[in-house]
A = this chain, B = another copy of it.
Amino acid sequence: MKSLLLNLNYVYAVLVTLFVTASLDAADPLPSWNETGTKRAIIGFVERVTDRQSSDYVKPEARIATFDNDGTLWSEQPYYFQIAFAFDRVKAMASKHPEWSKKQPFKGVLEGDLKAVMAGGKESLLKLIATTHSGMTSEEFEQEVTDWISKAKHPKTGRLYKEMVFQPMLELLTYLRANGFKTYIVSGGGIEFMRPWTEAVYGIPPEQVVGSRIKTQYEIRDGQPVIVSLPEVNFIDDKEGKPIGIHYHIGRRPIFAAGNSDGDWQMLQYTTIGRSPSFGLIVHHTDAEREWAYDRNSHIGQLDKALADAPQQGWTVIDMKKDWIRIYPEK
């Protein structure tokens, strides 16, 4: 019985290969990408690592691809979308915290005074995150995020935040998975903020999401075992935290990494330096009309060192304006 099944498996694999190859030849796997060197570089890499005859062939289990989220898979302006979530949480929680009307950064959020909020810098944002993301069970928090992501809209575009994902990157994720890659998110954003929706939006399941996290503790509440979040940062998955997060969660080095800022510099290094085949990809925000244009001098998603290193390291830089036919999915 076993050998019959194996044979059947083999026949099927051959058939699928034939069909998939045919369908890839026929249908463009990256239809939202212009026919530029960027697209050719991506496809060339994928074809080499999946070609058993190539010296660059990589076994499927080692085809690990890691993607930053903010600014790489979805937009991040005028501030990280998780900050918008935290602001909305502050407003929802304010009635139980009358002291917030006199206390920054909460006061600024409640009065819509972004400048006052930002004046406190990173410290102040971390405080907002810790306050609005803690004290709940993981299930309660998941519900809060799920509710928010299904209805919150971006102030400038009027789109749902989850509709501000990059259509070309969705196609890239699908294309990589169709070629045996395991796709991960490795983001400075909160792991618990992303996991409730990444599977539906990106096809990336919770166990393939790596992110920053706050401390948690195990408790029995009302007779039920739960994980409760505490108002203290536990791990920041940014800069040198990214290779460390990859190492803990995945335990293998990626062969493909994509980012858009200096927060991804170390992940790009870790993936590519001294390793062949490997692929480093940078989303350069160059399209002020359809999205935003920013790099070296931006307070969000600053892209300086990684952009300077790209030519020498052989990282491929996406010029959003030239390389992408469309930015967001059609509604």
Contacts and interface: CB of A to CB of B under 8 A. Distances in A.
Contact of A19 (B4, B16, B247, B269): B4
Contact of A26 (B1, B4, B8, B270): B1
B207 A251 contact: yes
Interface centre among A12, A22, A247, A274 (most CB of B within 10 A): A247
Contacts of A19: 1, 4-5, 8
Contacts of A207: 182, 249-252
Given A5-B23, A26-B1, A270-B225, A138 B247 contact: yes
Interface stretch (A123-131, A168-176, A210-218, A322-330): A210-218
Given A1-B23, A4-B19, A252-B207, A274 B227 contact: no
Nearest to A269: B225
Interface string A194-225: 01000100000111010001001110100111
Nearest to A26: B1
Nearest to A234: B248
A218 B243 contact: yes
Interface in A55-99: 61
A240 interface: yes
Contacts of A205: 61
A151 interface: no
A23 B2 CA distance: 8
Given A243-B225, A243-B227, A273-B224, A206 B251 contact: yes
Nearest to A239: B218
A218 B266 contact: yes
Interface residues of A, number: 47
Contacts of A61: 199, 205
A19 B22 CA distance: 29
Contact of A218 (B182, B224, B244): B244
Interface string A170-192: 00000000000010000000010
A114 interface: no
A8 B1 contact: no
Given A23-B2, A206-B250, A274 B224 contact: yes
Interface centre among A138, A225, A240 (most CB of B within 10 A): A225
A244 B224 contact: no
A27 interface: yes
Contacts of A23: 1-2, 5
Interface string A3-25: 01100100010011001101100
B2 A8 contact: no
A290 B191 CA distance: 45
A227 B251 contact: no
Interface of A: 1-2, 4-5, 8, 12, 15-16, 19-20, 22-23, 26-27, 61, 138, 182, 191, 195, 199, 205-207, 209, 213, 216-218, 220, 223-225, 227, 240, 243-244, 247-252, 266, 269-270, 273-274
Rank and list the top 4 A-B pairs by shortest CB-CB distance, nearest first: A206-B251, A218-B240, A1-B23, A225-B270
